[in-house]
A and B are shown apart, each in its own frame.
Chain A
Amino acid sequence: MFKKYDVIVIGAGHAGCEAALASARMGAETLLLTISIENVALMPCNPAIGGIGKGNLVKDMDALGGEMGRNIDATGIQFRILNRSKGVAVRATRAQADKYLYKDRMRTTIFDTPNLDLKQGIVTDININNNEVESVSVASGEIYLCKKIVVTAGTFIDGHIYIGNMKMSAGRMYEPASVALGESLSKLGLNHFKMKTDTPARIRFDSIDISGLEVLSSDFGNISFSPDSIKNNLKNIDCYLTYTNDETCRIVADNLKTSQLYSGEMAVKGPRYCPSIEDKIKNFPEKTSHNIVIEPESLDMFECHINGMSTSLPYDIQVAAYRSIKGLENAIFTRPAYAIEYNVYNPKELDYSYQSKKVKGLYLAGQLNGTSGYEEAAVQGFMAGVNAVLSIDSKDPLILGRDESYIGVLGDDIMSKGVDEPYRMFTSRGEYRLLLREDRAEARLLGYGYKLGLIRKERYDRYLNDRELIDLEIARLNKLKDKDKNISYHDLLKRPEVSYRDMIKESGISESNLSEKLIDQLEVEIKYKGYIDKEQKEVEKADIYDDILVPDSISYKSIPGLRLEYAEKIALLKPKSLKEIRKIPGISPAAISVIAIEISKIVKHTDI
């Protein structure tokens, strides 16, 4: 009666959308189930994509063939480059979205994608057969058969919202929690614990006095996440900077007891890097002036997100605290701030393809893995969707290394170390910051995307062409000499005070036809060459066992002394040589040695 799908994705937030799109675009019959079709790709917290570390995730996923980059490029209403002065390796793209345009475009894209069905439904059961997923039951009675399931339910599984003493079951404000799905996952043997996060109140923009507040505007220039995007025609909006003060802090401090968080009700971890106002005041009592940014949520300019004022204090205290802030004296609330507590499934129970180690064909991705942020969720959804399809096609999974992408860093971090607070990406989490910089996303990952069939040939060719142009120009600068200074222009450009454009102008050598983006890239590659080479060398440190080939008959699990988590990780990747094993994140030299011994044993046995 019901269609049999290759892949069913449960939940249509940022993770679910990417999982479903990747799966369908790779040719798998895909079903995306959501509690609310209206709220596909909703931004329930801040209306922004990107930022430091996060921008890298979005650009990387874009180079692999994800949707988020293009979606924000098309619906962004303020674009900025952060950390401009702090060096190219840490520069980050951030954009504010019109949250309604953002989700509408994503929903349209999903409806328009072949092989992809979007349906409304609350999942009550994940049915398995012989410890492998078989079907999904929906509250309204449908049962959909499938080969793989990707659960991307975000904060919905057994979610509870807190405002002051009020507690209610919800996945987001006034949306039902997925309680039955939680029970079903427990029955399958998955372990969970609780995490929490907060969001600030929404305020009517016309109730805010913006006169006297600092204005934060878009940066100039053609800023985008996807190199193929054309700048959208939307009007750009401003944000406004204000500050908390002694009075705000007094109100919050006096009422900490009224927050269930501090009266002991929620003994769960929230994100340290995105603390509630209660946390800030409790942990840094000497500081009373905290930045607060007023961010309009859409071009209609009705509601604003008050960034920095997330809280779970009672409603009346919230109002008093907000109104103590300059510009918000007459603030009218449209939605209160709240905290939400939800189920997190231990990511250590996943293998590196995001598949559960306990149930075959079951993938988990996004916030329910203990991460935080739309971008962190989206990239996991993408990886899970891709790997579900690769698994159906009996192909090796796509697993990115720590030197290849922050996506690889994220996966490796949460799966090998687990999470004890909502995990957010920071550039400092990666070891190879220079290699992982935003402008190298295509260089690192476009090849994978192209191979997966998620990147069009035109884009891949365009990239190869760009690469050639840069290489030619580097070669030219190497050859041409500045006669006065007696050094090549290549070496001249290495000096921090010299810019490519000025150098070309002053030197009188002919101009190249490089685009602005390529010029930026060229400058980075020349100026940072020494450091980039060092980092590359660090990655490629040759090992004496690299040339050893791995026989097919090897069983990693039975190698004495090899930690089980490594054994599973390696088995999944089916490496062909010890060199490939060495590149797997977290594998120690000692582990390589024991594997080398095992290989040698096998080879000797076969010889006899």
Chain B
Amino acid sequence: MDNNIQLNNVNRETIVAPITVVLTSPVIVVRISGLEAIKTFNLIQDRKGAQIAHIEPNKVYFAKFISLYDRFYDDVLVTYFKAPYSYTGEDVVEISFHGNPMLISSALRSFYDLGFRDARNGEFTMRAFLNGKVSLNEAEAIQEFISSDSDTSLRYAYDQMNGSVGVLFDSFKSELLNCKAILEADIDFAEDTDISSIYNRLLKIVNPLLVEIDELLLSYKSLRSISNDVNLVIVGKPNVGKSSLLNKLLDSNRAIVSDIAGTTRDFISERFLISGIPVTVTDTAGIRESTDEIESIGISKSLEVIGKADIILILFDVNDGDISILNDKSLDTLINSTASNKVIKVGNKSDLEHSIDASKFDIVISSKTGEGINNLLLTIKDMILNSRDIKPNSIGIVSERHAMLLEIVKSSLQSVVKNIDNNFPEDMIIFDLNESIRKIEDITGENYTEDVLSIIFNKFCIGK
């Protein structure tokens, strides 16, 4: 084993990555592997709020994970596997988070800050193989996996992103390439140019770009920092389909979830995520179906819940001619007095009706067939964004990695501006510009060297 791969002795980086799909789901598991994996416990507290003194391997801790950056925290399950008795053969920590992608973003950011880096495709298994933890057959499967063109997969991941943000990154990309083309054309082709006019042209592109990136990052941060759930209340007469709508909403979002402490048990409350934003949805069905004797108590509780709601979803049976909302005046009055931008009128059971007067409703759905549910979700999302003053584009940056890359783009562009102010030469300016382009490439998964030459040839008349 002399010439063998003695990776255990190599001063290697500690890597981190989610090992389950990062979608809204019951649980998302994150794995950390490498010499410094145990540093993860810096972010973990026991139930009493104290650091865990003796970290024993192979023991499952029920603990609190606290992100370094924001108020996000989560109750998690943590397990430490000591090398070589782990999946990779290295020190490994695995954490099961609640399945909120925003939470994972925040957690990853904390890990990067500990000095961990993103694991590459197949890298855990790769390390496992090199440390003798998996067989040859498995290794061959890994080779297949890794050799599927990594550029393509990166591009694929990028294409999966929210359309509007893709367009935005593409526009950043083309602005940056324009800047590069202006400089490169001057460096490679021109003689005796007026540098101040070139720098002015650059600033005209870079400054607005900086503003845009800043806005995006700010609104992303405000989005990430939503720690109070959005309260959505479903009201409606009995048998209009409230509970089946609730189930449909949860289904279509692969909902989690648990009961929320502190909410009254008289209501059915569930949590789910819309574009990463946690939403508590309360079904007032509980009022009517609790005991008749205490209906008045139920109604006063309903009034309380509705009063706190961010969004009220009123469900009607499209076959019912009656426009009153509930069989209770006080509730009707309260809802009628609520600002209309908080209310969505939904007509249900469209599958049963032949001639619907759709104008009476904001949206018509069938909670039975699922028709119209997506539209409803979009409407809810828009309403949330409006109420929280969040730029819709930022929704697309669900990945903390993208946000961090954008931060680097921003700081590189800031040096561009600063160095132009100091009248530094073009080769220094282009250095920072290149850095910003490399980071955009990391997001979009493309390489642009040839693009720059094309821009130069198409836009500038080259040659003496």
A: which residues have CB within 8 A of B? 52-53, 82-83, 85-90, 272-275, 280, 283-284, 287, 290-293, 307-308, 426-429, 433-434, 496, 528, 531, 534-535, 544, 546-549, 551, 559-562, 588-590, 593-594, 596-601, 603-604, 607
Contacts of B10 in A (CB 8 A): 544, 546-547
Q: Of B143, B426, B430, which contacts A597 at CB under 8 A? A: B143
Are A588 and B4 within 8 A (Cβ)?
no
Contact B4 A607 (CB under 8 A): yes
Name A562's contact: one of B147, B195, B425 (CB within 8 Å): B147
Q: Is B139 in contact with A290, judged by CB distance below 8 angstroms? A: no
Q: Are A90 and B187 in contact (CB under 8 A)?
A: yes
Distance of A434 Cα from B425 Cα, bound (Å): 13
Are the C-beta atoms of B126 and A89 separated by less than 8 Å? no
Contact A87 B457 (CB under 8 A): no
Residues of chain B within 8 A (CB-CB) of A588 are 150-151
Q: Which chain B residues numbered 437 to 464 have a C-beta less than 8 Å away from chain A?
A: 449, 452-453, 457, 461-464
List of B residues within 8 angstroms of A599 by Cβ: 5
Q: Which residues of A contact B293 (CB under 8 A)?
A: none
- Contact between B147 and A560, CB atoms less than 8 A apart: yes
Chain A proximity mask over B143-167: 1 for CB below 8 Å, otherwise 0: 1101100110000000000000000
Partner of A544, one of B7, B424, B452: B7
Query: Is the CB–CB distance between B426 and A87 below 8 Å?
Result: yes
Please report whether the interface of chain B is mostly helix, strand, loop or mixed according to DSSP: helix
Cβ–Cβ contact B187 & A83, under 8 A? yes
Nearest opposing residue in chain B for A283, CB measure: B461
What range describes how many residues of B lie at the interface?
35 or more
Contact across chains for B142 and A428 when beta carbons are under 8 A apart: no
What residue of chain A has the Cβ atom nearest to residue B13's Cβ? A544
Check B4 against A597 for contact (C-beta < 8 Å).
no
Complex: A291 Cα to B13 Cα, angstroms: 55
Beyond A290-B463, A534-B431, A549-B3, 19 extra complex contacts between A and B, CB < 8 Å:
A52-B188, A85-B195, A87-B427, A90-B426, A273-B189, A426-B188, A427-B188, A428-B452, A434-B431, A544-B12, A551-B3, A594-B143, A596-B5, A597-B130, A600-B139, A601-B136, A603-B4, A604-B4, A607-B4
Smallest CB gap from A531: residue in B:
B431
Can you list 27 pairs linking A and B with CB atoms under 8 Å apart?
A: A52-B187, A82-B191, A85-B195, A87-B425, A87-B428, A88-B425, A280-B461, A284-B461, A287-B461, A290-B464, A291-B464, A427-B187, A434-B427, A496-B422, A544-B10, A544-B12, A559-B143, A560-B143, A560-B147, A561-B144, A562-B147, A590-B121, A597-B126, A600-B4, A600-B129, A603-B1, A603-B3
Q: Which residue of A lies closest to B460 (CB)?
A: A284
The 3 closest A-B pairs by CB, nearest first: A561-B147, A87-B425, A87-B427
Q: Which residue of B lies closest to A535 (CB)?
A: B431
> Whole-angstrom distance from the CB of A501 to the nearest CB of chain B?
18
Residues of the A chain whose Cβ atoms lie less than 8 Å from the Cβ of B1: 603, 607
Flag if A560 contacts B195 (CB, 8 Å). Answer: no
Q: Quick check: is B328 within 8 A (CB to CB) of the other chain?
A: no
How far is it, in angstroms, between the C-alpha of A136 and the C-alpha of B151 when the chains are bound? 45
**Nearest CB on A from B143, distance (A):** 5
Neighbouring A residues of B462 by C-beta, 8 Å: 272-275
Nearest neighbor of A295 in chain B, beta-carbon distance: B464
Closest to A281 in B: B461
B453 and A426: CB pair below 8 A? yes
CB of A364, distance to nearest CB on chain B (Å): 23
Kindly provide the distance from the CB of B35 to the nearest chain A CB, expressed in whole angstroms.
Answer: 11
Chain B's nearest CB lies how many Å from the CB of A408? 15
Would B424 and A496 count as touching, CB distance under 8 A? yes
A23: shortest Cβ distance to chain B, in Å?
32
Report the minimum CB–CB distance from B131 to chain A (whole Å): 9
Known A-B contacts A544-B10, A588-B150, A600-B130; A86 and B453 likewise in contact (beta carbons under 8 Å)? no
Which A residues lie within 8 Å of B123 (CB)? 593
Chain A residue with minimal CB distance to B126? Answer: A593
B120 contacts the other chain (CB 8 A): yes
B423 within 8 A of A: yes
Q: Which residues of B contact A87 (CB under 8 A)?
A: 424-428
A560, B147: Cα distance in complex, Å: 8
Q: Which of A85, A593, A601 contacts B146 (CB 8 A)?
A: A593
Q: A600 and B5: CB pair below 8 A? A: yes
> Bound complex: CA of A222 vs CA of B130, how far in Å?
57
User: Is B320 among interface residues, defined by CB-CB distance under 8 A?
Assistant: no
Chain A residues in 8 Å Cβ range of B132: 604
| B186 on interface, CB distance cutoff 8 Å | yes
A123 to B48, CA, bound (A): 89
Complex: A208 Cα to B354 Cα, angstroms? 90
Closest residue of chain A to B429 (Cβ to Cβ) is A87
Q: Which residue of B lies closest to A560 (CB)?
A: B143
In the assembled complex, how far is the CB of residue B341 from the closest CB belonging to chain A, in whole angstroms? 50
Pair A496/B423 contact, Cβ less than 8 Å? yes
B115 within 8 A of A: no
Count chain A CB atoms within 10 A of each CB in B4, B146, B150 and give the residue with the most.
B146
Tell me if B322 counts as interface (CB < 8 A to partner A): no
Q: Which of A307, A496, A601 is the one whose CB lies under 8 Å from B139?
A: A601
Q: Are A428 and B457 in contact (CB under 8 A)?
A: no
Residues of A within 8 A of B292 (CB): none
Interface hits, B170-205 → A, CB 8 Å: 180, 184, 186-189, 191, 195
**A residues in contact with B146, CB < 8 Å:** 561, 590, 593-594
Are B464 and A307 within 8 A (Cβ)?
yes
User: Does B307 interact with chain A (Cβ within 8 Å)?
Assistant: no
- Of B426, B457, B462, B463, the most chain A CB neighbours within 10 A belong to B463
Is B122 interfacial (CB-CB < 8 Å)? yes
Cα–Cα, bound, A426→B456 (Å): 12
Q: How far is the CB of A299 from chain B (nearest CB, A)?
A: 22
Contacts known (A275-B462, A275-B463); A593 close to B122, Cβ less than 8 A? yes
Those of B385-443 within 8 Å (CB) of chain A: 422-428, 430-431
Residues of A within 8 A of B129 (CB): 597, 600
How far, in whole Å, are A512 and B250 apart by their CA atoms in the complex?
Answer: 77
**Closest A residue to B461 using CB positions:** A284
CA of A151 to CA of B359, assembled, Å: 80
Q: Which residue of A lies closest to B123 (CB)?
A: A593
A85 / chain B contacts, CB cutoff of 8 Å: 195, 425
Q: B1-40: contact bitstring with A at CB < 8 Å (1 yes, 0 no)?
A: 1011111001011000000000000000000000000000
The CA of A276 and the CA of B4, in the complex, are separated in Å by 60
* B304 at the A interface (CB under 8 A): no
Q: What are the residues of chain B within 8 A of A293 when measuring CB–CB?
A: 464
Interchain CA distance A89-B432 in the complex, whole Å: 14
How many Å lie between the Cα of A211 and that of B159 in the bound state? 61
How far does the Cβ of B260 sit from chain A's closest Cβ, in whole Å?
A: 43
Contact B13 A590 (CB under 8 A): no
